[in-house]
């Protein structure tokens, strides 16, 4: 089994049993992201306390890649400050755009590294970045 197979397996596993797919009552941040080219519609909700993300979850529907990506992202955001969240998002987007290729730098992404090979499939890139772009925009609106 090569690395690509393992990555695919993690994506399939996440899309079958997504984490954090639920409603958050009274979220501090909430924003819906839509990817019309595939039909993915994912709403990200975040609970913040003392500047730290206490809870992150999503609702909506989408393809396996968009759901796996939202599952992995919301999992990763627990306990992060908004600034840390922004950094993680920009590293993730940099990885997908192949602007960041240094594995040592990408290590911080943990499980999200499994989505790296999506950059080889241009049609699926929007699916992979949807949740991340949506949270990035929600944080930007909150900070400005
Ligand atoms: Zn999709």
pLDDT at 3: 61
Q: Which residues surround ligand 1, an ion (CB under 5 A)?
A: 38, 40, 63, 66, 127
**Residues in a beta bridge with 40:** 35
pLDDT at 4: 72
Q: How many CB atoms lie under 10 A from the CB of residue 120? A: 10
d(CA 45, CA 60): 11
Supply 96's token pair: 């997908």
**17 φ/ψ sector (left φ>0, alpha ψ -120 to 50, else beta):** beta
For 50-71, b/e burial (b = at least 16 CB within 10 A) is eeebebbbbbbebbbbbbbbbb
Could you give the 3-state DSSP secondary structure of residue 24? coil
d(CA 81, CA 77): 8
Closest CA to 116 of 88, 90, 92, 136: 92
pLDDT at 127: 95
pLDDT per residue, tens digit, the chain (144 aa), is: 566 776 788 888 888 888 999 999 999 999 999 999 999 999 999 999 999 999 999 999 999 999 999 999 999 999 999 999 999 999 999 999 999 999 999 999 998 998 988 888 888 999 999 999 999 999 999 988
Its pTM stands at 0.92
In the reported structure, the alpha carbon of residue 36 is separated from the centroid of ligand 1 by a whole-number distance in angstroms of 9
pLDDT at 72: 94
In the reported structure, the alpha carbon of residue 81 is separated from the centroid of ligand 1 by a whole-number distance in angstroms of 28
pLDDT at 2: 62
pLDDT at 56: 98
In the reported structure, the alpha carbon of residue 35 is separated from the centroid of ligand 1 by a whole-number distance in angstroms of 7
């Amino acid at each position: 089994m090569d690395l690509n197979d393992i990555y695919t397996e993690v994506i399939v596993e996440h899309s079958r049993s997504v984490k954090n797919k639920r409603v958050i009552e009274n979220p501090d941040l909430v924003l819906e992201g839509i990817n019309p080219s595939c039909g993915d519609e994912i709403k990200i909700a975040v609970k913040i306390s003392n500047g730290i993300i206490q809870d992150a979850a999503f609702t909506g529907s989408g393809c396996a890649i968009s759901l796996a990506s939202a599952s992995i992202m919301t999992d990763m955001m627990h306990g992060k400050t908004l600034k840390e969240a922004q950094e993680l998002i920009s590293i993730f987007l940099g990885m997908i755009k192949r602007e960041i290729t240094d594995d040592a730098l990408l290590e911080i992404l943990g499980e999200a590294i499994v989505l790296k090979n999506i950059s080889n499939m241009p049609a699926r890139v929007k699916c992979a970045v949807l949740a991340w772009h949506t949270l990035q925009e929600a944080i930007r609106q909150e900070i400005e």
